[in-house]
Amino acid sequence: KAGVTQTPRYLIKTRGQQVTLSCSPISGHRSVSWYQQTPGQGLQFLFEYFSETQRNKGNFPGRFSGRQFSNSRSEMNVSTLELGDSALYLCASSLLELMAGSPLHFGNGTRLTVT
């Protein structure tokens, strides 16, 4: 079974631009959640989508948004990029809704650098 796939692997953007990251979950998984990882803040939960609906949300500004398609693939968008948005963005899929007893399977992330 193929794992969680995130594209692109690396991305360089300029302040003020916007960016879209993509995540393809494991086949059959309906929940996709997104995380930001930085050296200073560690791993932080962004949001979760389940059956195309946002079910849970972390403490991030509205510049961070996402969506999920009918095939469970998900995209995350960050608008008006700031230098502090430079991070490793991880996506994870799971069979059930967030942590409802089934583990998360993470992709290897997209490394975003904002200059």
Partner 1 sequence: DAKTTQPPSMDCAEGRAANLPCNHSTISGNEYVYWYRQIHSQGPQYIIHGLKNNETNEMASLIITEDRKSSTLILPHATLRDTAVYYCIVRVVAGAGSYQLTFGKGTKLSVIP
Is there binding between residue 105 and partner 1 (CB under 8 A)?
A: yes
Chain residues 60-89 in contact with partner 1, contact rule CB under 8 A: none
Give the residue, chosen from 30, 45, 65, 73, that forms a contact with partner 1 under the rule CB under 8 A: 45
Q: How far is CA 91 from CA 12, 45, 62, in A?
A: 19, 10, 18
Helix/strand/coil for 2: coil
| Three-state secondary structure string covering 31-99 | EEEEEEEECCCEEEEEEEEECCEEEEECCCCCCEEEEECCCCCEEEEECCCCHHHCEEEEEEEECCCCC
Q: Are 26 and 2 in contact (CB under 8 A)?
A: yes
Q: How many residues bind partner 1 (CB under 8 A)?
A: 24
Is there binding between residue 98 and partner 1 (CB under 8 A)?
A: yes
Residue closer to partner 1 by CB (options 71, 108) is 108
Is there binding between residue 58 and partner 1 (CB under 8 A)?
A: yes
Residue closer to partner 1 by CB (options 15, 57) is 57
Give the residue, chosen from 30, 55, 67, 73, that forms a contact with partner 1 under the rule CB under 8 A: 55
Q: Are 62 and 40 in contact (CB under 8 A)?
A: no
Is there binding between residue 113 and partner 1 (CB under 8 A)?
A: no
- The binding site for partner 1 (CB under 8 A) comprises 4, 33, 35, 42-45, 55-59, 90, 92, 98-99, 101, 103-109
